[in-house]
Amino acid sequence: MLKNDTTNNDQPLPNSNLQAQQPRAVEIAHALPMRLQTLDLARHTVIAPSGRRYVVATYDDSRLNRGFVTSVFPQQNDYLTLVRLTIIEYSSTTPDEAIKRHIATAEAIQKGKLKALNK
C-alpha cells in the first residue's frame, strides 16, 4: 500500500503574492463601482457635469512592462464600455500610486476637467 504524503488542505498556504494581488476597496463619492476584472485594482463609472459617463479603470499591466495603468474609457448607453477608444492612460510604478491617480482622475472628471487631464 502506498503512503499518501499530502498536507491538510483545510489551512490556506501563506503566499505574499496572493495577498498583494487581492483587490482593494476604493470608494469615490458620487462614482458608481463596477465589477472588477481579473487584473483590476479599481474600476468606477464616473459621470461628468455634462452627463457623459466614463469608466476609470486601474489595473496591473506589469506583464507587459507597463506597471499599473489607469485608463479612461467612454461609456455608451449607460452600460457599454468602449475599451478601444481610450481617452487617457497613465502608468504608475506602485499600486498605491496607481490608486491615488485613479481617485484624482475620477474626481477631475466629476469636476468637468477631463480635457485638462489630457494635456
pLDDT tens string 80-102: 778 888 899 999 999 999 999 99
* pLDDT > 90: percent of the chain: 50
With cut-offs at 50, 70 and 90, classify the pLDDT of residue 15. Answer: very low
Range of the domain at 51: 27-117
- Find the Cα–Cα–Cα–Cα dihedral 93, 99, 105, 109, rounded to 10°: 160
Q: For residue 111, is it within any domain?
A: yes
Is residue 21 in some structural domain?
no
pLDDT at residue 32, rounded to an integer: 86
The pLDDT confidence band at residue 29, using thresholds 50, 70 and 90, is: confident
Q: Is there a domain that residue 107 lies in?
A: yes
Dist CA 83 CA 111 (whole Å) = 22
Please report whether residue 3 resides in a domain: no
Could you tell me the three cell numbers for 99?
490608486
Angle CA 96–98–100, to nearest 5: 70
For residue 109, tell me if it sits in a domain. yes
Q: How many domains are there within the chain?
A: 1
**Is residue 14 scored above 50 in pLDDT?**
no
Q: Label residue 74 exposed, middle or buried (CB < 10 Å: 0-12, 13-18, 19+).
A: middle
* Cα 106 from Cα 74, distance rounded (Å): 13
